[in-house]
Amino acid sequence: MRRLRYIAPDQSAVNMDLFMLCEKFGMDRASSGRALVTILVLGALTACSETEAPPPPTPVVEVVEIGSRSVPLVISRVAQTESSREVEVVARVSGFLEEIVYVEGTPVKEGDVMFLMDRKPFEARLNAAKGELEASKARLWTANANLKRTKPLAEADALSQSDLDQATGEQQAAEAAVYAATASVTQAQLDLSYTTIRAPASGVTGQSKQREGAYLNAFSDSADLTYVAQIDPIWVNFSVSQNELERSLALQSKGQLVVPAEHKYELQIVLSSGEIYPHSGTLDFADPSFDQTTGTFTVRAVVANPDGLLRPGMFVTANLIGATRPNAVVVPKEAVRQTSNGQVVWLVGRDNKAEQRPVITGEWVKDGWLIEEGLSGGETVIVGGGMRLRPGTEVKPVPQGKAKPPQPAAGQKG
């Protein structure tokens, strides 16, 4: 019997040989055609089965070897600025507001004139007080002269003791009247000086609540004129929750967190634009009790603000610098992946098999995520090329940044 081939240089000759073979076994033309088709199909399937697909290439992954080390810890908090000294400017005497001297919203220095009140009524009161003082002094002079004459006469029994007592009492009353008149003059001078309202502190001024011509009553709300907010230095306030405090204390007790001596953190301010504020601050106050509404307590820092760049009420980021995490494990951000079951990293285990490991991340440090649980150091972590990995997949690890770019297929342009 002749050997059949599915692919022949001359397909028509092969077909004729097959027909002749079929007729030799007594098959008619139709049966010979069906047999021919069956043979061709079986040949094609045999040829296909003999061609096996090549195994997929071993995936190349970029890896880094991680270890434990001491890393500086930066604790970030959303904070808000506050004036270190906000003073209300009020009228201390009643009268009419004559002039607003300062420019609203601009900085002033302590002692600068801000408001002027009508001085004339106060000048009149001062003059009247001075006149009463002079009259009291005159009465005192007369009383002194009378006592000076009465005393020797009473000692010589030329006047009675009651005359001497009366002269002495008049002299003392006149002297007391002088003290009272002097106090009235002092009060009148003070009231007159209060008509010139000066800045009680250096800082930025607020909007005036009263306008020229308004009557200011020193004993009502109309006496409130404006405020001056001192902004150099300025305060920066932020909150710490009860959970954060307890976690910090637990880490310290385990030796996993080292804080600066006497909690003297350095405070770095980051503006909303991302720019780092040029002056650092220090912590100077911590509220001893928790807020019952929010479950947090307030921490305050004081920051130099000579250029007035920070204004009260601004939201900034406060970075506390000074704490360290000894024996910490840090992985690049590319290594941590988020899944429906939490965060995981991929490792290269025994025999270059891929392994998935669940982890719990902590703070972000300078060059990666700090791992709280899941890694202990010494592992080989996959940071690139492992998007379609499955546990147990064999991989080819290469150092990070050393993976070769994929080559274009034959006949394609690179």
Mean pLDDT of the residues in the chain? 86
Q: Give 177's pLDDT tier (boundaries 50, 70, 90).
A: very high
Give whole-number Cα distances, 278 to 269, 274, 281, 318, 322, in Å: 8, 12, 10, 13, 18
Residue 156 is predicted with a pLDDT of 85
Topology of domain 72-82+233-323 in CATH is Elongation Factor Tu (Ef-tu); domain 3 (2.40.30)
Mean predicted confidence (pLDDT) in 296-317: 94
Q: Is the pLDDT of residue 408 over 80?
A: no
Confidence (pLDDT) at 1: 47
Q: How confident is the model at residue 26 (pLDDT cuts 50, 70, 90)?
A: low
pTM beyond 0.95: the answer is no
Tens of pLDDT, residue by residue over 212-245, are 999 999 999 999 999 999 999 999 999 999 999 9
DSSP code at position 273: T
| Distances 405 to 188, 260, 341, 354 between C-alpha atoms, Å | 91, 47, 32, 21
Q: What angle do CA 26, 32, 37 make, to 5 degrees?
A: 150
Q: Residue 48 burial by CB count (10 A; 0-12/13-18/19+): exposed, middle or buried?
A: exposed
154: left (phi over 0), alpha (psi -120 to 50) or beta: alpha
Expressed in angstroms, the distance from the first to the final Cα of the chain is: 53
pLDDT in tens, 145-168: 999 998 888 888 888 888 888 999
Confidence of residue 8 (pLDDT cuts 50, 70, 90): very low
Q: Which two tokens stand for residue 384?
A: 């690139």
Residue with tokens 């409130």: 224
Question: In Å, how far are 39, 46, 55, 59, 375 from 52, measured between CA atoms?
Answer: 22, 12, 9, 21, 42
Kindly state the DSSP code that residue 205 receives in the 8-state scheme: E
CA triple 407-411-414, angle to 5 deg: 40
Residue range 86-229 in CATH 3.40.50.10470: no
- Range with top average pLDDT, 5-14, 94-103, 370-379, 382-391: 94-103
Which residues are CB-neighbours of 48 under 8 A, at least 6 positions away? none
* Domain 61-71+328-399 coded CATH 3.30.420.40: no
Say what the pLDDT of residue 414 is.
46
Domain limits of the chain?
Answer: 11-49, 61-71+328-399, 72-82+233-323, 86-229
Tens digit of each residue's pLDDT (9 = 90 or more) over 102-135 = 999 999 999 999 999 999 999 999 999 999 999 9
Q: For the chain, give the percent of residues with pLDDT over 70.
A: 84
Average pLDDT over residues 259-263: 88
